[in-house]
Amino acid sequence: MEDRVKTGIKGLDELIGGGLPKNSSILLSGEAGTGKTIFSLQFIYSGAKDFGEAGIYVTFEEKPEELRREASQFGWDFKKYEAKKKIVILDAASLRVGVPTDESFYVKSDFDIKTLLSHLYEIAIDIDAKRIVIDSLPAFFFSHESEKMRDDVYMMGRVLAETKATSILITEIVDGQGYSRFGFEEFVTRGVITMHLVEGEKAMPRMAEYKRGIFVRKMRETNHKIKQYPFSITDKGIVVYPQGEIY
């Protein structure tokens, strides 16, 4: 079996042969509020803290300080590992929306995909990045023409492969349909993981209790079950329950 990269998410790695396939790109998809950003922050932080692997978090929507604040709720001290160059948050959000940034790593407001990927590649080589997160594809490609968007996503996949890092590309599911925002992201990745809010039993009329579920839709070179597993967001991050059932 090929080398694996442990996600740092309790309960998940045993479902996917010990971790994500090394040097691969994985699509992480789900409706709003399912925990995609937390999953990705946990992946980057665990890499730095537990495995000594440098990581890059590219943010197109949230400012880096907002991500650090969200991470701190789980006891994840991003600044500590940023100071050691084990974590880099690449700010592609602030100048894009016309807000100044004090970040050391940022991209200009008028950047294009080639400029962004060149900058990302340089950082990855400089810190020897083993993990990369792109948060998110819809935020960056929203205004693109569909045909150009497809080409740019493929270009991104090729550059990520050249870094030799294991990458997570975040996208979204709209109205519970499909596995991605645009319908083709899953075809340029080696794995697809989806996160869901699942309606459970109703304690009272019109008052359903929702549970969180995670589904490994695709993971190449991996023997995994086609089954949705429950997970929860605890004070230490995401925990998946491999023996659990989603109803």
The proportion of the chain whose per-residue pLDDT surpasses 70, expressed as a percent, equals 88
Residues 6+ apart with CB under 8 A from 82: 88, 89
Give the pLDDT mean for 89-93. 96
Q: Residue 209, SS3?
A: strand
Question: Per-residue pLDDT for 221 more than 90?
Answer: no
Cα–Cα distances in angstroms (integers) from residue 227 to residues 16, 109, 141, in the given order: 12, 42, 30
Residues 121 and 118: their CA atoms lie apart, in Å, by 5
Give the position of tokens 């997970």: 231
- Read off φ and ψ for residue 231, nearest 5 degrees: -145, 165
Question: Per-residue pLDDT for 227 more than 70?
Answer: yes
Contact status, residue 191 vs residue 199, Cβ threshold 8 Å: no
Bridge partners for 34 per DSSP: none
Contact status, residue 6 vs residue 209, Cβ threshold 8 Å: no
Structure tokens given for 117: 């990927």
Q: Residue 139, SS3?
A: helix
pLDDT at position 150 is: 82
Give the pLDDT mean for 214-226. 89
CATH no. of 24-199: 3.40.50.300
pLDDT digits (tens, 9 = 90+) for 92-137: 999 888 899 999 999 987 778 899 999 999 999 999 999 999 999 9
Q: Residue 162, SS3?
A: helix
Residues 171 and 29: their CA atoms lie apart, in Å, by 5
> Left, alpha or beta for 139 (phi > 0: left; psi -120 to 50: alpha)?
alpha
